[in-house]
Amino acid sequence: MKTALVIILVVVFHPAYSQKPTGEEILQKAEQNFHDVKDYTVTLDIVADIERIKVPPMHATMYFKQPEKVHFDAKGFVFLPREGMGLQFGQLTQRYAVDSAAWETVEGVMMHRLALHPRDEKAVVRRVFMWIDGNRWTPERVLIPGADGRAVEARFTYRQIDHFWLPSQLVVSFSAPERDSTAAAPNTNPFARGLPTMPRGNTRSGKVTVSYSDYRVNTGLSDSLFTSETQHR
């Protein structure tokens, strides 16, 4: 009887027998991670390294309020990647459906790898890959491949502010095939915010690094800050 009980305990508690979360559950956990961040203010320092374009370092203040209100204060032109500017991660299950889920170990950390597609049938982007930290449930990497061989990738670094994990750095890289035969194609870079539309032949690769500092979280930002006259989108 004791032997049978030991066997049962091993089967129930051994990691090999523990039930792995589904892709939908992983997405929900990542979304829930940002649920209690109602608003924040943060300072941004942006450095853009883009082929054939000279962009000076930029400085801005970003205001965010749930669900997806974002406002920027900056002097002059600001080059910002669209994804990650604000906690769109708080709306993951509404924006994406899961096609498949797998896991892999990256530098000793278990990562859940999700293949997603936008629920909006009119979205230009039709395929998204997301890597989510299996311990703290933060999206660490987002990859958006293009049908023409182009790709956009975002990598996040986090730090703990109070008891929240919030981005401390975002690096967005975009690349294109060596031979660009689609100069007439529209600019479909889903990460481009503040980027003027240019022919495909002008910009083939680049990187934008956004550093976050001086967070102020849940201060009760007024809705008036996000009116159409002041909101930068």
In this prediction, residue 176 carries a pLDDT of 73
In the structure, what pLDDT confidence band is assigned to residue 81 with cuts at 50, 70 and 90?
low
pLDDT of residue 161: 92
The domain tally of the chain equals 1
pLDDT in tens, 125-158: 889 999 999 999 999 999 998 777 788 899 999 9
- Is the model more confident about 82 or about 27? 27
Q: What is the pLDDT of residue 174?
A: 85
d(CA 233, CA 203): 22
Cα 165 from Cα 155, distance rounded (Å)? 15
User: CA 145 to CA 129: how far, in whole Å?
Assistant: 8
Q: What integer pLDDT is reported at residue 18 of this predicted model?
A: 56
Per-residue pLDDT tens digits for 92-107: 899 999 999 998 888 8
Indicate whether 219 belongs to any domain.
yes
**pLDDT tens digits, 172-215:** 998 876 654 444 333 444 433 433 333 344 446 889 999 999 99
- What pLDDT, in 10s, does the model give residues 5-62? 444 444 344 444 357 899 999 999 999 988 899 999 999 999 999 888 888 899 999 9
pLDDT at 211: 96
Q: What are the CA-CA distances from residue 107 to residues 90, 111, 173 (Å)?
A: 26, 10, 21
What is the per-residue pLDDT for 126? 86
pLDDT tens column, 161-175: 988 999 999 999 988
First to last CA, the chain: 67
Examine residue 214 and state whether it is found in any structural domain, yes or no. Answer: yes
Specify the DSSP element, H or E, that contains 44: strand 39-50
Mean pLDDT of 69-76: 85
**Average confidence (pLDDT) over 102-114:** 90
Residue with the bigger pLDDT between 226 and 85: it is 226
Asked if residue 9 belongs to a domain, the reply is no
Q: Which residue range forms the structural domain that includes residue 102?
A: 21-226
Residue 209 lies in a domain: yes
Give the pLDDT confidence score for residue 188 in this predicted structure: 40
Q: What is the CATH number of the domain that holds 161?
A: 2.50.20.10
8 within some domain: no
**Quick one: CA dihedral 75, 222, 194, 172, positive or negative?**
positive
Q: Is position 204 within any domain? A: yes
Residue 1 maps to a domain:
no
139 burial (CB, 10 Å; 0-12 / 13-18 / 19+) is buried
Asked if residue 11 belongs to a domain, the reply is no
Q: What is the pLDDT of residue 97?
A: 95
Amino acid 86: pLDDT: 52
Question: Could you tell me the pTM of the whole model?
Answer: 0.78
Residues in CB range of 71: below 8 A, 6 or more apart: 62, 63, 225, 226, 230, 231, 232
| Cα distance between residue 25 and residue 22, in whole Å | 5
